[in-house]
Amino acid sequence: MAFQIFTYILHKDGVVDDTAAEMAAAAAKLDPAASVTAIVVGSKTDPVCSSLTASFKEVWKIDNDALAYPNSEVIRGLLANVIPKGSIVLIAHDHFGMDLSPGLSVKLDGAYLPDAVGFEGIEGGKLKAVRQEYSGQVSTHVLCDISGGAVITIRPGSFTALAAGSAGGSVVDKTGDALTSGMPGGKRRFVEVIEAEVGDVDITKSEVLVSIGRGIGEQENIEIVNELAKAMGGDVSCSRPIIDAKWLEKSRQVGTSGKTVKPKVYMALGISGSFQHLGGIKGSPFMVAVNKNPKAPIFQVADIGVVEDLIEFVPMLTEKINEMK
């Protein structure tokens, strides 16, 4: 039996998000025989919809001025009105997908499989998928019974994007069906978006970043990293726990909920390598990881690994660099 698969398309300012092509790849991996429909919700979405017809046979559009900002409480209600029960819905696992999807799986009465990073086939109505737990320290295989439909969120970057083909798809306007009983989700009302604070240093422009994570241990230890950054001629950035502890300004955070950086060299000191952190590092820098845990996931993506206590290693490195200069 071929599945009916829907993928929810993220878009902004008339441009389709990179994850759309990844969702298409995930759908093809899940079931090559499936018919895949893209769903676009928003306001003035025609350019978005027509660009998707190259990759999808069918593009469903739900368009209304009141949908200019993606409020997942509203969108969940709209989707539940149009997506038939028993379908499989693929959504990117980001701040929007996390908001929308668990509740959508309840509305559609299907299984919920969050943050999948791989698919390994279907057996007897059950999808075998790969997930990660404990911030990526271990992986798991899970079986998800998709026979009665499922909502699956996909980790961005985990499926290689499908190149846009020549699907020659068509756009179907579903706005009327979605809005049959008015605009849903009125109990949560969007007010505004507050832009990110601007800090003293713009880490998105730095060529050399010396980045610290929870492994720094204590606030006073940051000094040894400041000195290393100075010796290397770079800037200090960090992972999220450092921001949560208010040890550095928010503008220094690298990751999906922080800044996207493109340095030439990235030093990850005491950072485990969660996908939310790695999601903020672009342009394949030369990456060095210093971590006392030889199994830390960061060692899988770094170029060079140093298994040491950073509190000992960093001052030594700084001293040697300064001597050499």
Partner 1 sequence: MDILVCVKRVPDTAENEISVNGSGTDIERDDLVYSVNEWDNYAVEEAIQIRDKVGGSVTVISVGDSESEEVLRREMAMGADKGILISDGAFEGSDGKGLAVILKTAIEKDKYDLIFTGAQADDGAGQVGGMLAAMLDLPYASLVNFIEVSDDKKIKIGREIAGGQQEIDEIDLPCVLSIQTGINEPRYVGIRGIRKVASVEIPVLGASDLGIDQGLVGSAAAKVSRVDYFMPALGKGAEILEGSIEEKADKLIELLKSKGGIK
Considering Cα of 131, then 135, then 139, then 142, what sign does the dihedral take?
Answer: negative
If the CB atoms of residues 67 and 117 are measured against ligand FAD, the closer one turns out to be 117
Burial of 256-289, coded b for 16+ CB within 10 Å and e otherwise, reads bbbbebbbebbbbbbbbbbbbbbbbbeeebebbb
Q: Smallest gap, in angstroms, from Cβ of residue 323 to partner 1?
A: 10
Q: Could you tell which of ligand FAD, partner 1, none binds residue 85, using a CB distance below 5 to 8 A set by kind? A: none
Q: Is residue 272 at the binding interface for ligand FAD, with CB under 6 A as the rule?
A: yes
d(CA 147, CA 87): 9
Contact 8, 89 (CB under 8 A): yes
Looking only at residues 117 through 156 of this chain, which bind ligand FAD when binding is defined by CB under 6 A? 135
Contacts with partner 1, 83-122, as mask; x by CB under 8 A = -----------xxx-xx-xxxxxxx--xxxxxx-------
Contact stretch for ligand FAD (CB under 6 A) within 55-63, 79-87, 115-123, 247-255:
247-255
Structure tokens, 277: 């952190």
- Smallest gap from residue 296 Cβ to ligand FAD (A): 4
Kindly report the three-state secondary structure assignment for every residue of 56-116. Answer: CCEEEEEECHHHCCCCHHHHHHHHHHHCCCCCEEEEECCHHHHHHHHHHHHHCCCEEEEEE
> Contact region for partner 1 (CB under 8 A) — 39-47, 57-65, 171-179, 312-320?
312-320
Q: Which residues make beta-bridge pairs with 8?
A: 39
User: Quick one: which segment of 22-30, 54-62, 158-166, 266-274 binds ligand FAD (CB under 6 A)?
Assistant: 266-274
Using CA atoms, how far residue 35 sits from 27, 30, 267, in Å, is 9, 11, 44
Phi, psi of 173 (to 5 degrees): -85, 115
Binding partner selected for residue 277 from ligand FAD, partner 1, none, CB under the kind-specific 5 to 8 Å limit = ligand FAD
Nearest Cα to Cα of residue 119 among 155, 83, 85, 87: 155
CA nearest neighbour of 61 among 230, 212, 177: 177
Q: Does 253 bind ligand FAD (CB under 6 A)?
A: yes
Does 285 help bind ligand FAD (rule: CB under 6 A)? no
* From candidates 274, 287, 288, 317, binder to ligand FAD by CB under 6 A: 274
H, E, C per residue of 117-171: CEEEEEECCEEEEEEEECCCCEEEEEEEECCCCEEEEECCCCCCCCCCCCCCCEE
Asked if 270 interacts with ligand FAD (CB under 6 A), we say yes
Binders of partner 1 among residues 69 to 88 (CB under 8 A) are: 71, 73, 76
Q: Name the binder of 163 from partner 1, ligand FAD, none, CB < 5-8 A by kind.
A: none
19 lies in the site for partner 1, by CB under 8 A? no
Tell me which residues in 29-48 interact with ligand FAD (CB under 6 A).
none
| Ranges within 188-217 binding ligand FAD (CB under 6 A) | 213-215, 217
- Among partner 1, ligand FAD, none, what binds residue 311 when CB lies within 5 to 8 Å by partner kind? ligand FAD
Compare residues 163 and 286 and give the one whose CB is closer to partner 1: 286
Q: Which amino acid is at 41?
A: V
Binding site for ligand FAD (CB under 6 A): 95, 135, 213-215, 217, 239-241, 253-258, 270-272, 274, 276-277, 280, 290-293, 296, 309-311
